[in-house]
A and B are shown apart, each in its own frame.
Chain A
Amino acid sequence: MKKEEFFNILSKRLSVIEENELNDILSEYKQHIEFKMQSGVDEETAIADFGNIDRLVEDILSAYHVRNDYDNKKSKNFYSEKSKNIFDNFMIGVKSICKNISMYINSLLKVVVNFSKKLTNKILSIFNKDTDKNIQNCDKENDLKKSTSTSKTKPNSIFFKIGSKLNRLFHFMGVAIMRTLLLFYNIFVDLVGFITGIFALISILLFGTSLVLLFQNFPFVGVSIVLLGLSMTLTALTLLIFTFAIKKIEQNDIQESTNNSETSENNEFYGTTENVQEEIKNA
């Protein structure tokens, strides 16, 4: 056995010992080997003089009052940790699948929202053109006649107001439709989850009663097994269904989009109309 191998094995199997202490032991063995080599013994026989490495490890551990089978225990724990990890990974996988499904639904809803937004924007753009024309008309009329301009722009300003109000109405309707759709969807999901949950509870109850009957020597083995499976699957299903409910993300998105669009469009519309009106008044 070479030096590196010897020290690797020792440091691995004595890992329970505090690092300073371990380094202390290893440095002492290193020194011993060096002394031996100075006296004309080669590396491998110097290490072989330490005897069986398993015995050496046992002796060192017993000097610290540590159980010799510490290593074996560790390996047993390793298996339980592994199985735990598998279960954790499975749960993570299920969660990610649920997340993906809900994300997909989210994106579908977003597409619908965007479509409705585009529709309203198109309608708005028609009104925008009208407003531009009106502004130009106003300017011309201002140049031509100052006294009669106020009376002539009145119907136009009313038209703007109707337009902007229509725009807001469209927007509000879109949002309202989305919200109601979301509400109905969530109600549906919650309802389904609730129903399966009730069934799960009932099956658990039945499982319990059948178990009691089973221990009173009734032929209920098959029934109890079926009910156990049913209760487990139903509880799992209810949990799965509740993950489908869309809560915060979608609402935030709608709010953000509405806020942005409202503020920007309000500025455009009211800004232009008010400016025009002010100009007219000033004139």
Chain B
Amino acid sequence: MNAQFKKGVLELIVLVSVKKKDMYGYELVEEVSKVIDVNEGTIYPLLKRLTNDHYFETYLKESTEGPPRKYYHITAAGIMYTQDLTKEWTEFYKKVEDFLLRNEGN
């Protein structure tokens, strides 16, 4: 998959995943990897950026094995941002889809 496509969509996938359920870093990497093949190096900085922009909150939770895990939780601003992004994505997707259909039809 094209790297530029990935980068654009990755943010949306991460936001939607965390909106559904609070997750810790590694869990999120695994979740995202189901959809797109992405390297871990891009996900953690993205999580950091979303946290710094106040779309995510973090909290520590003890785990049965190993050190406490840092969970990501979506904020109200994050939910609004996810809605905007989803809208943008669907509009963009529709436009591209229409364009492709029209041109393939000819």
Contact = CB atoms under 8 A, between A and B. Distances in A.
B45 interface: yes
B105 interface: no
A25 B44 contact: yes
A63 B66 contact: no
Nearest to A32: B26
Contacts of B8: none
A60 interface: yes
A32 B67 CA distance: 12
B90 interface: no
12 contacts: A25-B48, A28-B25, A28-B44, A32-B25, A32-B44, A34-B66, A49-B39, A50-B39, A50-B40, A51-B39, A60-B44, A64-B48
Interface in B70-90: 70
A35 B26 contact: yes
Contact of A49 (B40, B67, B70): B40
B42 A29 contact: no
* The 3 A-B residue pairs with the shortest CB-CB distance in the complex, in nearest-first order: A63-B49, A59-B45, A50-B41
A55 B25 CA distance: 19
A59 B10 CA distance: 14
A275 interface: no
Q: Which of B40, B41, B42 lies at the interface centre, i.e. has the most chain A CB atoms within 10 A of its CB?
A: B41
Contacts of A50: 39-41
Contact of B42 (A31, A59, A65): A59
Interface string B44-59: 1110110010000000
B7 to A, nearest CB: 10
Contact of B52 (A28, A52, A63): A63
Determine the main DSSP class of A at the interface with B: helix
A56 B67 CA distance: 24
Interface in A58-86: 59-60, 62-65
Contacts, number: 54
B40 A60 contact: no
Nearest to B45: A59
The binding surface of chain B is classed by DSSP as helix
A32 B69 CA distance: 10
B41 to A, nearest CB: 4
Contact of B67 (A31, A51, A52): A31
B23 to A, nearest CB: 13
A31 B45 contact: no
Interface string B28-49: 0100000000011110111011
Given A63-B48, A64-B52, A56 B41 contact: yes
Contacts of A59: 41-42, 45-46
A24 B67 CA distance: 13
A62 B49 contact: yes
B90 to A, nearest CB: 26
A50 B67 CA distance: 21
Contacts of B25: 28, 31-32
Contacts of B39: 49-51
